[in-house]
Structure 1
Amino acid sequence: MQIVYERCCGLDVHQKTVVGCRLLSQQKGTVEKSIRTFATTTNGLMELDHKASFIPPKPIRELRDLVRAHTHLMQERNRHMNRIHKILETANIKLSSVVTDILGKSARQMLEALIEGESDPVELAKLARGRMRPKMALLQQALQGHLEPHHRFLLKETLAHLDFLQLRVGQLEQEVAERLSPFEKSLALLMTIPGISRRSATILISELGTDMTAFPSAAHLASWVGLCPGSHMSAGKRRNGKPTKGNRYLRSVLTQIAWVLTRMSDNYLSAQFRHLRPRLGEKKAVVAVAHSVLVIVYHVLAKGEPYQDLGPDYFRKQDKEQQARRFVRQLETLGYRVE
């Protein structure tokens, strides 16, 4: 059997005909719609000549499936950790108010002792190790609760499932690391961008690949991801500028990168956030920074060159006259006269 298209999105070739519908947004806000009917024979599919959705190469698709599975496992792991917090809070045990990591060595031993039936706060606090030892008095207060038998059962089952999830996460990380070996150069390039860790770079490559020729420009990529303003106009008026849904995995990781950048102060992207926040607000400024990160990712992968930062003082240099006018207004508000 001849393979006409290796992978199709939304085309049911088991039918006698295929109806192709294409929607193209125009600059004035209108939408051009074209519909054609094609046969599902080989000749008919060849006549389709339809620009389908972005489909990365097979190695990238396989990597994407593994990385997404890893993401889901990590989310499930976090949900089970939250369940442990909830069980302890229900029993009036405030361990999380003293312990930073509920699954650390000290906290894990305390949880296992609670499951075994130990209820004396003094004995439980003695299980503290290292930097937890000076907090024994606080631990004794936090461990004064009423743990019922069903609480112990739930803790035991949740910890067992967490151990299982941790094992699966480790296996997936090993498999992902092996499949990432051909993309080490691209990973290194992406990690030159502030705020991008190896984990973030892995998600970016698994969703986008390394070949940016699939997207004519960075603007097309931003539209596909869903990090550009939407276009909804009626009677010549713009009704809504909300972004499209796009790729939720990419939007999530890019937004996380943007939030990391808000805590930095030594690069252009963090300066962009502080420049936009007074006018747009914090959340919209984060989305704008996430868009800028995506544009940078596009050019870094397309050119194969490391990121060159414009510096944290970029906007201050650009807005000298605007700053001068603002300072004059502030001085005049205070009663000074500036000539």
Structure 2
Amino acid sequence: MDILYERVAGLDVHKDTVVACVRIMTEGKAQRECRTFLATTEQLMELRRWLEESRCTHVAMEATGVYWMPVFRILGEGAFELIVANAAHIKNVPGRKTDMNDAMWIADLLACGLIRGSFVPDEQVQELRALTRTRKQLVREQTRHVQRIEKTLAEANIKLGSVISDIMGASGRRIIQAMIDGVRQPNKLAALAGKQIKASPKALYDALHGRLTDHHRFLLALHLRQRDGLDETIRKLDAEIAERIEHMEAQVDGRKIPFRHLIGLLTTIPGVNAVAAPSVLSEIGADMSRFQTAGHLVAWTGLCTGQNESAGKRKSSRLRKGAPWLKTMLIQCAWAAKRSKNSYYRAQFFRLQAKRGPQKAICAVAASILTAIYHILKDGTEHHDLGADYFDRRPTEVKASRLVARLKRLGFNVQLQPIAEAA
């Protein structure tokens, strides 16, 4: 195999150590030198000096958890091109795995140009990404505490969730707080419900007639405090995210679109709100030049199926892992877009749901939203919805051929004839 780079290095990154292998071509032969460094700042700076003294032009390492991040930031200041590779793409043949062999394998792959670098945003976007991901984790934990409150109420045979859609709303909070304070009479608890509750007084009385003990009140108070504490933390995170966005906005030069303006453009997409837009931007960045087409971005995210073909037959395959944080956010946006009236995404969902089921249909809607995001960020334009009647506006020949194909699958032989000719 042809050698593209004569002076390269491969790094096997661990929690406490970094194993490095420098590979240099001399008179047609590869000479390797391996060293082990501690993952401290001083040792990483020593590693950078050694790579520069070896005159390496390219250095590659695999993305190992979060341990690669400090290594990338320190070595990124060196006079060589630093590449972060997906660990699944550079997996070695099993059976002879050691840290030294892994570093040598990475160096060999890099010398032949077989390692494709992963997308690594700049440090400001990485910090924003860490904040948005932390917010999502806290929201999940907050939801778990609400579920624990529902479980405690169910143990007490109180069906509050059956008569109130949101038990953490104003009416639900008043009723739960009264339970914690010692109120047990169902009629007194039902009187705390607001006028907007659609359930009848009899339904409220029956739902709140249970067996509430001191044990249940203690658990309700405990989970409610945890939920409220997380709510306060989430508000602080939102303020920090807004501050980071303002800081990034101040550093934008005249050649780039302001970050807040991009957030406003993304919120014109049905289902994408002011929380989802910064999260999406923190995952993919604002520069779409790194993705050749919208299809490359969709494939990188993992919203299209992989290829599984053997002996000329294409087999079904699942979605790849891709970018899980971005994928889950887009799926949530797709469910919200599906509820938007007079929207193309709603029509697309129901069109595919009948043939493929709701799960595959919602993934297709998420891929369509990501395609729109790609063009919005690339061209700096607002979103233009195609409309719920988009599929009905297609040419008559296209709709007719689709219906004929469905009849043929049902076992009928169809021959179309225009009405004028038939008369």
Which TM class, normalised by the smaller chain length? 0.7 to 0.9
Counterpart CA distance in 2 for 1:241 and 1:38 is 42
Amino acid paired to 2:172: A
Q: In 1, are the aligned partners of 2:164 and 2:172 still within 8 Å (CA)?
A: yes
- Rg larger for: 2
Q: Which of these residues, 13, 19, 24, is aligned with residue 15 of structure 1?
A: 19
By how many angstroms is 1:11 displaced?
4.7
Partner of 2:177: 112
Distance 1:272 1:131 in 2: 34
The answer to whether the 8 A contact 1:265-1:271 is kept is no
- Give how far 1:125 is off: 2.3
- The CA distance in 1 between the partners of 2:149 and 2:206, in whole Å, is 19
Give 1:214-233 correspondences, 5 Å limit.
214-233=290-309
1:160-239 correspondence to structure 2 within 5 Å? 160-181=225-246, 182=249, 183-239=259-315
Match among 44, 51, 57 for residue 46 of structure 1 = 57
Structure 1 residue 238: deviation in Å?
Answer: 2.4
Shifted more, 127-136 versus 286-295: the winner is 127-136
Counterpart in the other structure of 1:30: none
Corresponding residue for residue 342 of structure 2: 266
* From 368, 371, 391, the counterpart of 1:292: 368
Q: 1:9 & 1:209 partners in 2: Cα distance? A: 27
Q: Residues of 2 paired with 1:305 and 1:142: CA distance?
A: 51
Q: How far apart in 2 are the matches of 1:55 and 1:299?
A: 21
In 2, Cα distance between equivalents of 1:274 and 1:170? 36
SS at match of 1:14: strand
Structure-2 change in CA distance of 1:105 and 1:278 (3 Å):
closer
Alpha-carbon distance, 1:82 to partner: 0.8
Q: 3-state DSSP class of the match of 2:296?
A: helix
Q: Partner residue of 2:132?
A: 67
For the 8 Å contact 1:18–1:37, the answer to whether it is kept is yes
What corresponds to 1:29 in structure 2? none
Structure 2 CA distance, aligned partners of 1:104 and 1:171?
21
Amino acid corresponding to residue 156 of structure 1 in structure 2? A
* C-alpha deviation, 1:155, in angstroms: 0.9
Task: Tell me by how many angstroms 1:304 deviates.
Answer: 1.1
**RMSD over aligned Cα atoms:** 3.1
Match of 2:167 among 75, 97, 102: 102
Q: Which moved more, 1:235-244 or 1:62-71?
A: 235-244
2:315 is paired with a residue whose SS is strand
SS in 1 for 2:314: strand
Question: How do 1:137-156 residues align onto structure 2 when only pairs under 5 Å count?
Answer: 137-156=202-221
Q: 1:91 to 1:44 in 2, by over 3 A?
A: farther
Q: Deviations over 1:61-96 (max 9, x none)?
A: 111101111111111111100111111111111112
What is the distance in 1 between the residues matched to 2:227 and 2:11? 36
Q: Offset of 1:207 from its aligned partner?
A: 0.8
Q: Does 1:82 align with 2:147?
A: yes
Partners of 1:213 and 1:284 in 2: CA distance: 29
**C-alpha distance in 2, partners of 1:44/1:234?**
44
- Given that 2:178 and 2:189 are in contact with CA atoms closer than 8 Å, whether structure 1 keeps it comes out as yes
Q: What corresponds to 2:396 in structure 1?
A: 320
Q: What TM-score do you get using the length of structure 1 for normalisation? A: 0.81
Using the TM superposition, give the Cα deviation of residue 281 of structure 1 relative to its aligned residue in structure 2, in angstroms: 2.9
Alpha carbons of structure 1 residues 242 and 318: separation in structure 2 relative to 1, 3 Å = same
Higher deviation after alignment, 130-139 or 88-97: 130-139
Higher helix share: 1
CA distance in 1, matches of 2:357, 2:11: 38
Please tell me whether the aligned partners of residues 190 and 205 of structure 2 are also in contact (alpha carbons under 8 angstroms).
Answer: yes
Asked if structure 2 preserves the Cα contact closer than 8 Å seen for 1:9 and 1:52, the reply is: no
Flag the 1:103–1:315 CA change in 2: closer, same or farther, 3 A.
closer
User: Once the 2 structures are TM-superposed, how far is the Cα of residue 185 of structure 1 from its aligned partner?
Assistant: 0.5
Is the contact made by 1:38 and 1:45 (CA closer than 8 Å) also made in structure 2?
no
Work out the CA distance in 2 between the residues paired with 1:9 and 1:122: 69
- The equivalent residue for 2:359 is 283
- Select between 153-162 and 307-316 the one with higher mean Cα deviation: 307-316
Secondary structure, in 3 states, of the residue corresponding to 2:57?
helix
- Once residues 302 and 118 of structure 2 are traced to their aligned partners in structure 1, the CA distance between those partners, rounded to angstroms, is 14
Deviates more, 1:108-117 or 1:300-309: 108-117
Name which structure has the greater RCO, CA cutoff 8 Å, separation 6+: 1
- Counterparts of 2:172 and 2:232 in 1: how far apart (Å)? 20
Task: Name stretches of at least 5 consecutive residues in structure 1 with no aligned partner.
Answer: 1-7, 20-35
Q: Offset at 1:18? A: 6.7
**Pair 97,133 (structure 1): closer, same or farther in 2 beyond 3 Å:** closer
The count of corresponding residues between Structure 1 and Structure 2 is: 312
**Letter matched to residue 47 of structure 1:** H
CA displacement at 1:108 relative to structure 2: 1.9
Q: Contact (CA 8 Å) 1:64, 1:206: kept in 2 or not? A: yes
Aligned residue number for residue 251 of structure 1? 327
Counterpart Cα distance in 2 of 1:258 and 1:214: 25
Closer, same or farther: CA 249–10 of 1 in aligned 2, 3 Å: farther
